[in-house]
Amino acid sequence: MEPVKILGICCNWSPYASFNAAERAGLEMPANFRLIRVMCIGRINQALILRAFEFGADGVILLECKDEDCRYGPGPEIGHSNVHRLRRLIDLLGIGQRRLVEHSFFAHEKEKLAEAVRDFTLRIETLGPNPAKPRQEREAS
């Protein structure tokens, strides 16, 4: 059985600083976790997240700044709103709401970020492959 594919979409600021610090400190990250860095979670189009599932992600975790720490003002608030709408949509598509989560971090929270990624990966491994993947890809997993 192939490992599930986890995609992290990470804000360029505090969460990315936490991610870098976690890597430098040697904190364990799942081997099946990939990261995309964006300027702000609130600036990404909802279609990007849907495309992640379309192209094979079994779970997507959004790593964003704390509301009061955002350099773009309402970025996290817009991100929360997008996630709320997307959760309903991915549930209707048969993917399931539990496969999309968001977590907020300050720049110094490297342990918290690493733990959130590991916990989410375990959750997705328990859920198994994304049910919206093409059948042959699900069966190959």
State the Cα–Cα distance between residues 12 and 32, nearest whole angstrom: 21
The pLDDT tens digits for 44-59 are 889 999 999 999 999 9
Collapse the DSSP code of 119 into the 3-class scheme (helix H, G, I; strand E, B; otherwise coil) and give the result. Answer: helix
In angstroms, the CA 95 to CA 111 distance is 29
User: pLDDT tens, 77-113?
Assistant: 888 898 999 999 999 999 999 999 999 999 999 999 9
Give the pLDDT score at 79: 86
Lowest mean pLDDT among 7-11, 91-95, 132-136: 132-136
pTM exceeds cut of 0.85? yes
Alpha helices, DSSP H, located in the chain: 14-24, 46-54, 75-92, 110-127, 135-140
Classify the C-alpha dihedral 7-10-15-21 as positive or negative.
positive
- What are the tens digits of pLDDT across the range 12-30? 999 999 999 999 999 999 9
Please give the domain boundaries of the chain with CATH numbers for all domains.
6-140 (3.40.50)
